């Protein structure tokens, strides 16, 4: 299966802030995706869920759903982009298939899918 190496996940607060500030954003009901192209951060991904979503259990569930969507669909994404996925309140009660459709829809909207 497809793996998501630890080295490709964004961890530093400064990286999250730079992508949030300078990246292009696309949103739907469940997710917000920030797409950023810079030479230092190519092909990396970050996942965020703010405190407005609920308690830690809820936020971690949303981040797990986003990570799994990215992991299973990373081969469909074009290379050279840094992506930040942010969960929205509506994502807290949805199942995986709904979040995956939302992710792929945003990928088409952002034009980061291959083909």
Task: Evaluate whether residue 3 is within a structural domain.
Answer: no
Task: Evaluate whether residue 26 is within a structural domain.
Answer: yes
27 sits in which H/E element? strand 24-27
Report the number of distinct structural domains present in the chain: 1
Q: What is the pLDDT along the chain (115 residues), one digit of tens a residue?
A: 578 888 899 999 999 999 999 999 999 999 999 999 977 778 899 999 999 999 999 999 999 999 999 999 999 999 999 999 999 999 999 999 999 999 999 999 999 999 7
Task: Evaluate whether residue 83 is within a structural domain.
Answer: yes
Q: Which domain holds residue 52?
A: 10-110
Contacts 24+ apart (CB under 8 A), 107-115: 107/33, 107/73, 107/76, 107/77, 109/26, 109/28, 110/24, 110/26, 110/33, 110/35, 112/35, 112/77, 112/78, 112/81, 112/83, 113/76, 113/77, 113/78, 114/76, 114/77, 114/78
Total count of residues recorded for the chain: 115
pLDDT at res. 5: 87
> Which DSSP letter does residue 113 get?
B
pLDDT at res. 84: 97
Q: What is the pTM of this model?
A: 0.93
């Amino acid at each position: 299966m497809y793996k998501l190496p630890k080295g490709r996940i964004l961890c530093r607060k400064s990286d999250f802030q730079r992508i949030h500030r300078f990246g292009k954003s696309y949103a739907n009901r469940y997710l917000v995706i920030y797409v950023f192209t810079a030479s230092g951060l190519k092909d990396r991904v970050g996942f965020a869920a703010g405190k407005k979503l609920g308690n830690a259990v809820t936020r971690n569930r949303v981040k797990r759903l986003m990570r799994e969507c990215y992991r299973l669909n990373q081969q469909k994404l074009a290379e050279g982009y840094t992506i930040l996925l942010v969960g929205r309140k509506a994502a807290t009660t949805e199942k995986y298939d709904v979040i995956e459709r939302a992710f792929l829809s945003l990928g088409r909207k952002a034009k980061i899918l291959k083909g």
